[in-house]
Amino acid sequence: MSTTFLPCGDYHQGYAEDHAWFQTKFIKGKMIALFLVLFVFIPISYWGSIFQSAFNIDNYWFSLIIRYISVFGADEYWISVFNMVGYTILGALGVQLLIGYCGQLTLGHGAFIAVGAYTSTLLILEFPWPEFMITLGLAYPVSIFIAGIMAGLFSVLFGLPSARVKGFYLILTTMAAQFILVDFVITQYVSQIGGRGQAFSLPPGTIKIGPWLIDNNYKVYFFMLILVILSCIIISNLVRTRVGRAWVAIRDNDISAEVMGINVIKYKLLAFFVAGFIGGITGSFWISNLAAISPEHFPWFLSLWLVGVILIGGVGSIHGAIFGSLFMVVIMELLQLAVIPLADTYPKLLMDFLFIKEATFGLAICGFLIFEPNGMAYRWWQIKNYFNLWPFSY
């Protein structure tokens, strides 16, 4: 039997084979190619500069080669766009877990991202760490974990009403998290700590993991890739466990799940905690991309944006969070690039770009709900099946 393609030439003979991450050599090859693209090809100009400085090469032809190779990679601008994509993926994964896998509607996830960001920031700037923690660069990594715990606990607190309400009423209770945590607690109290007013400045050298100082967009990009990969692996494995199956059962029919012996309240709150934990890590990551942090970075629109991302990408799929984030962030950047040349002739377009962005967001959601209600992940699944089943695709 062939071991290259599925399902025409190869058949699984056990549970381990059926649930393996990389089931064929072809898939393994694709993953290796994706790894090279993400870690080598896109930041190739960064690797070129590192190589040149490490070996102290001061040669005209070498510099010329590096310059030509760098054309095929991403410059600083697009690296910052990819960082935004990664930020959106991390935020959307928590929303996907709640809505897509557990069926708990939420419009307050941005508040838990803010909790994570501010927890990590306060721990770095205000907490009296022992000198060896600062010297070894352990303050920021520890703050990431604590930020996830804090955001998870707040998520459980605002998820408690899910024991009694669902649907529209649950949406309203999760929205309360935004207005209570961000607009009241963080804006009026947390932001005033240390007499800073509204913003916390993050001086250069603040964000450090061990000896690795994250001080430019390329390093933030690599950090983002590591977090996205780890988060996707954790959630993908989690939803295949007993806990994940319980979440899916609650999503499909919570009454039937309770009849089968599933503790519905326990698993709902666990889903809120895990989603909040991921949100906290998201916020803690995002401060590595900021020079200063303020409540304006976490508006209520962020929560709505993340829900729209998974609607466009596909509900109930890890791929949906990734595809939706790529689509929305890149489309908005391309729209902005299209508007900038028209700014001289129509200056109001640039001034009103925020409204154009929101209108495009709404149109995109309407378009997908009408023409592709299952999202981009479903279309990707169909495309894969077409090639896997060829020439019997019909």
* CATH number (domain holding residue 232): 1.10.3470
> 324 with 92: CB under 8 angstroms?
yes
Q: What is the pLDDT of residue 382?
A: 87
Q: What is the pLDDT of residue 1?
A: 46
Q: What is the pLDDT of residue 127?
A: 87
Q: What is the pLDDT of residue 394?
A: 60
Q: What is the pLDDT of residue 198?
A: 63
Token pair belonging to 45: 């100009």
Range of the domain at 286: 74-389
**Same-domain check for residues 144 and 283:** yes
Domain count, the chain: 2
- Mark which of 54, 73, 92 sits at the end of a domain: 73
**Same-domain check for residues 115 and 243:** yes
pTM, whole model, 2 decimals? 0.91
**Same-domain check for residues 254 and 343:** yes
Q: What is the pLDDT of residue 24?
A: 76
**Same-domain check for residues 225 and 272:** yes
**Same-domain check for residues 224 and 269:** yes
**Residue numbers of the chain with a pLDDT score lower than 70:** 1-11, 52, 54-72, 194-198, 392-394
Residue 394: inside a domain: no
Helix axes 375-389 and 318-339, enclosed angle (nearest 10): 110
**Same-domain check for residues 179 and 101:** yes
Q: What is the pLDDT of residue 166?
A: 83
Q: What is the pLDDT of residue 152?
A: 96
